[in-house]
């Protein structure tokens, strides 16, 4: 049986990180503008904005998880926000996604996190079914909003 391992990403993994995130963007039918230079700065710079774990079957890269810390002021609680979780299609069904979530859950609990959060696209029925099978809940009554591009500029200049 081939071993499955998870390890923190290193600066020399920038190309691999970009490759895996590009595969995820294609799967989600979303554009990607991320570059290796941005990965070097945002993931490994003086003040990293995001953390990354890479998953391997033997020596073969098979998955990625990116995450960062948030804080819930009303509850005085740390939260770990999972930005990306992706296992290459050829390696799905082997329990790797669940193992990666377990790994991040343990990491969060060890650091005092009260919650692990993420989003899923409404059309992604396989992922939704998986998340529900492990006891995850959606935020009923909450909507995600964001500003970008001209809307951000307009608000800043108002």
Assign residue 112 a region (left: φ > 0; alpha: ψ between -120 and 50; beta: otherwise). Answer: left
Report angle CA 33, 24, 127 to the nearest 5 degrees: 140
> Is residue 40 a contact partner of residue 14, using CB atoms and an 8 Å limit?
yes
Q: What residues are labeled active site? A: 131
> Is residue 121 a contact partner of residue 138, using CB atoms and an 8 Å limit?
no
DSSP state of 118: -
């Amino acid at each position: 049986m081939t071993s499955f391992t998870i390890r923190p990403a290193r600066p020399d993994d920038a190309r691999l990180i970009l490759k895996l995130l590009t595969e995820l963007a294609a799967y989600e039918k979303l554009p990607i503008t991320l570059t290796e230079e941005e990965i070097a700065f945002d993931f490994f710079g003086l003040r990293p904005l995001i953390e990354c774990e890479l998953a391997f079957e033997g020596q073969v890269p098979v998955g990625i998880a990116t995450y960062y810390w948030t804080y819930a002021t009303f509850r005085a609680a740390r939260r770990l926000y999972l930005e990306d979780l992706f296992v290459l299609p050829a390696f799905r069904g082997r329990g790797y996604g669940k193992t990666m979530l377990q790994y991040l859950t343990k990491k969060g609990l060890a650091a005092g996190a009260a919650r692990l959060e993420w989003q899923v696209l409404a059309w992604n029925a396989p992922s939704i079914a998986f998340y529900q099978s492990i006891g995850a809940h959606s935020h009923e009554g909450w909507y995600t909003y964001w500003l970008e591009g001209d809307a951000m500029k307009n608000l800043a200049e108002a």
